Amino acid sequence: MEQTQNITYSNAFPIETALEMILMFDKEGKILYANAQARQKLEYENDLCGRHISDIFPNTFQNYKEDLETEFFHQAEIQNLVAYRKNTTCFPVEARLTKSDSNPEVYICMASDILEREFLGREIERIKQESEEAMKVKSEFVANVTHELRTPVNGILGNIRELKNHEMDEVIARSLNLVERCCDDMNKIINNILDFSKLEAGKFILEPRRFHFRNMLEYVKANHINKITEKGLDFFMTVSPQIPEYIIGDELRIVQILNNLLSNAQKFTSLGKITVEVFRTAQVNDKIELFFVVSDTGVGIDKGDKGKLFQSFSQVDASISRKYGGTGLGLNICKQLVELMGGRIDVESEKNRGSNFSFSIWVGICEGEEDILQRPDDIKNPLSMSGTAVSHEENGKDPEAARKYGTRENRENINRTLSKLILCVEMENWEKAEMFMETVRQLTEEAPWEVKRVVLRLKMAIQKENYEKVTAEFETLQQFL
């Protein structure tokens, strides 16, 4: 506690611990209060209070009698002020002078040491340069080490594949398969480390080019289907017909994100199904936004652990890395790649009920594709693999209008489907609810993004068979409609 003649502030008060020197003085120039920084820099103990302000700033305040007001208060800042220490040495400061709000008889001078500020500025610049240099050295080191590691691993892999062409007994074949798998895992880790260090150093460059979107998805599916079915899990993939055949993007990196999410889904699911869904959610000129959802019915993630997921080197708990392996870099790399593609990645998960990882990215569309996308044929087509085309005969109305979001027919159709859907939910017929959900999703395909977002959340809640969430999202959706 600092005792002044008539002003007291405790250490908990920001003025007392401020980085600037703060002096308060009365209209006669008598110092009433000096904060810790002022006492320390001016090398006084508690004897600063009671002195005259001109003892500290003799050049500025020497002529001061009673017109401090006219002399200084038209200036917001006083440049080139010189502050004198107790031992009469001095240093330049920059200061501001104001009147106290609570007491107009009290003046406040806030001053900072110019030399110290300049010194700190230079220090910050130096540290920044040093850390940039260290980062550069580190990424070069990582690049070299990973390259050095990759060469022998690929050498081993090549030899194993060569050996596998020869006749051998079952035991040796099994061992070779194991070594091959270890090498593949090692390659994955090496690639992850390399990507991570490039992303961290801001040296990662996307390589967009034209590619066949559905072929890319087939390739991703082929990568995982064996492992998924070996575990007895179901696999479904749904792609909106609104997505053109060819798009322009970094195919390799989109595959990498999907591979990572699907490997995790497969790794952490032992019962149920894994689904991949892709939607076109927005278009601006020749760019479209794609929205991917990878869902599983696996172990799920605790609410408290969600924040850790996309951080580097983060595994939800140590037992996971022991049981399933991994470096905890995968999701962080996915996040950075998704952000480079102009999107974001998110997760919705519940312990023991599964996870939905969703991400959006912006990709280019090829010349001429824009017209094709607008063709009503595409809008009419039911989603591939969904088998749940909307039955327009049911209400005998114009199918075009029923699909066109915002029309009366469309609204009626959605409302009718939603009431059937909620009935199924009440009866816990989740499979049928999912079917109606798909119809709602198709009917809202042209809806604004806010509506589509609620539809997707409702869909996820139904997939998870979460009654409370379904009713909450249902109500939100009804408000939109």
Interface with ligand ADP, residue 265, by CB under 6 A: yes
Which residue do the tokens 């119809």 mark?
Answer: 439
Write out the H or E segment, with its range, that includes residue 450: helix 449-463
**DSSP state, 382?**
P
Stretch that binds ligand ADP, among 150-158, 308-316, 336-344, 464-472 (CB under 6 A): 308-316
Shortest reach from residue 265's CB to ligand ADP, in Å: 5
Distance of CA 422 to the CA centre of its chain: 33
Exposure of 151 by Cβ count < 10 A (0-12 exposed, 13-18 middle, 19+ buried)?
exposed
| Residue 436, C-beta contacts closer than 8 angstroms, at least 6 positions apart | 417, 418, 420, 421, 424
Interface with ligand ADP, residue 456, by CB under 6 A: no
By C-beta, is 135 or 320 nearer to ligand ADP?
Answer: 320
Interface with ligand ADP, residue 35, by CB under 6 A: no
Q: Is the distance from CB of 54 to CB of 62 less than 8 angstroms? A: yes
Shortest reach from residue 461's CB to ligand ADP, in Å: 17
Shortest reach from residue 353's CB to ligand ADP, in Å: 11
Distance from C-alpha of 61 to C-alpha of 111, rounded to nearest angstrom: 15
Distance from C-alpha of 210 to C-alpha of 362, rounded to nearest angstrom: 14
Interface with ligand ADP, residue 187, by CB under 6 A: no
Interface with ligand ADP, residue 15, by CB under 6 A: no
Stretch that binds ligand ADP, among 213-221, 234-242, 251-259, 311-319 (CB under 6 A): 311-319
Query: What is the residue type of 431?
Result: E
Interface with ligand ADP, residue 358, by CB under 6 A: no
By C-beta, is 296 or 348 nearer to ligand ADP?
Answer: 296
Interface with ligand ADP, residue 233, by CB under 6 A: no
Interface with ligand ADP, residue 326, by CB under 6 A: yes
Write out the H or E segment, with its range, that includes residue 424: helix 408-426
By C-beta, is 18 or 149 nearer to ligand ADP?
Answer: 149
Shortest reach from residue 469's CB to ligand ADP, in Å: 18
- Count of chain residues binding ligand ADP (CB under 6 A): 21
| Residue 65, C-beta contacts closer than 8 angstroms, at least 6 positions apart | none
Interface with ligand ADP, residue 298, by CB under 6 A: yes
Of 24, 331, 455, 462, which one interacts with ligand ADP (CB under 6 A)?
Answer: 331
Between CA 369 and CA 378, with CA 375 as vertex, the angle to 5 degrees is 95
Shortest reach from residue 476's CB to ligand ADP, in Å: 26
By C-beta, is 174 or 323 nearer to ligand ADP?
Answer: 323
Taking every pair of C-alpha atoms in the chain, what is the biggest distance, in angstroms? 107
**How far apart, in Å, are the Cα atoms of 202 and each of 124, 139, 196, 438?**
21, 10, 10, 41
By C-beta, is 297 or 439 nearer to ligand ADP?
Answer: 297
Distance from C-alpha of 369 to C-alpha of 346, rounded to nearest angstrom: 29
Shortest reach from residue 272's CB to ligand ADP, in Å: 12
Stretch that binds ligand ADP, among 136-144, 172-180, 294-302, 392-400 (CB under 6 A): 294-302
For the segment 337-356, give every residue that binds ligand ADP (CB under 6 A). Answer: 355
By C-beta, is 283 or 327 nearer to ligand ADP?
Answer: 327
Of 330, 383, 454, 477, which one interacts with ligand ADP (CB under 6 A)?
Answer: 330
Query: What is the residue type of 223?
Result: N
Of 260, 297, 442, 444, which one interacts with ligand ADP (CB under 6 A)?
Answer: 260
Interface with ligand ADP, residue 316, by CB under 6 A: yes
By C-beta, is 229 or 419 nearer to ligand ADP?
Answer: 229
Contacts for 340-349 with beta carbons within 8 Å, 24 or more apart?
340/199, 340/204, 340/206, 341/206, 341/249, 341/250, 341/253, 341/254, 343/289, 345/310, 347/301, 347/306, 347/309, 348/457, 348/460, 349/300, 349/301, 349/306
Interface with ligand ADP, residue 301, by CB under 6 A: yes
| Residue 43, C-beta contacts closer than 8 angstroms, at least 6 positions apart | 85, 86, 87
Interface with ligand ADP, residue 299, by CB under 6 A: yes
Of 329, 338, 345, 455, which one interacts with ligand ADP (CB under 6 A)?
Answer: 329
**How far apart, in Å, are the Cα atoms of 276 and each of 9, 11, 345, 392, 393?**
62, 58, 15, 27, 30
Contacts for 116-122 with beta carbons within 8 Å, 24 or more apart?
none
Shortest reach from residue 203's CB to ligand ADP, in Å: 21
Interface with ligand ADP, residue 327, by CB under 6 A: yes
Using CB under 6 A, list all residues that contact ligand ADP.
260, 264-265, 268, 296, 298-301, 309, 314-316, 320, 326-331, 355
